[in-house]
Amino acid sequence: MAVVQRGVPPSLSAKVTGSFAYLTIRDRLPTILTKVIDTIHRNKSKFFEEHGEEGINAEKQAIALLSKLRNELLTDKPVIELTDGLEDADSWNEYLQRQQRLQGDQEPVSWFTSPWLYVECYMYRRIQEAVSLNPPISNFDVFNEGKTQSFYESQKAVMTLCTFLEDIQKNAEKLSPDRLSEDFNKLLQISLWGNKCDLSISAGQDNSQKISPIDALASLQPFILVNDSGMVWSSLMSSQRAGESVDRVDIVLDNAGFELVTDLVLADFLVSSGLVRKIYFHGKSFPWFVSDVTANDFHWTVRQTMAANHKWMSKRGFQWQNYLKVGAWSYHDHPFWTQPHEFCDMAADAPDLYSRLQQADLVLFKGDLNYRKLTGDRAWDHTVEFSTALQGFQPAPLCSLRTLKANVQVGLQPGRGEKLTSRDPTWMTNGKYAVIQFYSPKPV
């Protein structure tokens, strides 16, 4: 059993049969692995065209490694060390030893007995290992098809959003502070609900945005369980110095496709309205959790938006490219984002990243996995304060924008969780509910 600090609940795991963690590891993760194997196999002829017999051999070897991984998962085998020698392999192997020390000698670290957050992250790292061990296909993104499809199938919603931003910008000079705040709140909520489009929760099934994100806002309002958007706005306002723009907002990205577009539109608004000088985007350094943003996804999305056959969408794409060119926007990745650590470990395990975040005036954390890492993916009581669940992680004022897809949620009013459970037993995992949850180490 894991040893935890006094007052800190244990990590969620698949030990409880029937729990969401258990069902994820038993059903959803093997489904994702099967789809990955199928994707590699379907690209066999492409590998042959590009690399000849070497490509075919790489495809076979990668599939063999992934089939072995799937079998290990299904039969609850011990978690094993990575062997690919990539720059983060030692860190992963050290983390495995750390987990073993926490569990003690009674049982090995395994899929159904160890923290869900750890083994789920580990599965995606093992997918990366299977591909990276097999050049010449070592740069193949096994999740790329789903991410590009999600973008294309959300085109109407993207056009609507770009048109909405164009209308805001046409009237930018006439905007009162109240109207500016109102537009910010709308775009913050659009970015929040963009998080519904998560391919890892749907095990890769189509999850694109089909309806107007703006028209849907009013009907979605009652499903925001914690709405600290006013505090987020106040934090931005208090960071302004003598009427100057806020220096920097960081956005820790989640999904590619429509969600990424909602994040880019929010970032565009912050810069074009003069509220913020620079936006730092943080993404993943390799394909992760089916639909998470990599550098390739980020730049591909900007290029696709530029190439769109729609006036305002194309205009936004060229504007985004210009922001990147002049340095108003920049994309960053770091190995820590594709590791299993709780964020309270960041200062010790990735001090360079922690000090980078300390330079931001506000950090927006998108999505469910970031929320799980912010709170340690632990069995907190729903009424525990968000600040408590962060366990000392406070690099800068921060806000989690998350639709609920895992059974951890803090910061609710007493009785709210019980009321929700009686009305909708799957409220923590069905993606219908959301939070805009803010914490600042300094008074706002």
Given a contact cutoff of 8 angstroms between Cβ atoms, the answer to whether 429 and 20 are in contact is yes
Contact 377, 396 (CB under 8 A): no
Cβ-based neighbour number of residue 150 at 10 Å? 23
Structure tokens at 56: 């075919």
Rg (CA), the chain: 22
Count of residues in the chain: 444
Confidence of residue 201 (pLDDT cuts 50, 70, 90): very low
For the record, the structure tokens of 419 come out as: 């009321």
Output the CA torsion sign for 211, 215, 220, 224.
positive
Query: pTM of this prediction?
Result: 0.96
Answer yes or no: is pLDDT of 200 > 80. Answer: no
For residue 2, is pLDDT > 70?
no
The stretch 323-340 carries a mean pLDDT of: 98
pLDDT at 100 over 60: yes
Q: Crossing angle of helices 177-194/229-239, nearest 10°?
A: 120
Q: Please state whether the peptide bond connecting residue 30 to the residue before it is cis, i.e. omega within 30 degrees of 0.
A: no
Distance CA 38, CA 30 (A): 12
pLDDT tens column, 375-428: 999 999 999 999 999 999 999 999 999 999 999 999 999 999 999 999 999 999
Q: What is the DSSP string of 382-424?
A: TTS-HHHHTTT--SS-EEEEEE--SS----PPTTHHHHHHHH-
Q: Is the pLDDT of residue 3 over 90?
A: no
Q: Are the CB atoms for 343 and 393 separated by under 8 Å? A: yes
Helices 177-194 and 258-272, packing angle to 10 deg = 160
Query: Which stretches of 253-385 are assigned E, i.e. beta strand?
Result: 276-283, 329-333, 362-366
Mean pLDDT, to the nearest integer, of 353-368? 98
Look at residue 173 in the predicted model and tell me its pLDDT.
Answer: 74
HSE-CB for 174 with a 13 A CA cutoff: 4
Helices (H) and strands (E) in the chain, counts: 19, 7
All domains in the chain, ordered by first residue:
20-133 (1.20.930.60), 157-439 (3.40.50.10880)
pLDDT tens digit string along 163-180?
Answer: 999 999 998 777 788 999
Answer whether residue 159 shows pLDDT above 50: yes
Distance of alpha carbon 8 from alpha carbon 13, whole angstroms: 15
CA-wise closest residue to 249 among 262, 264, 261: 264
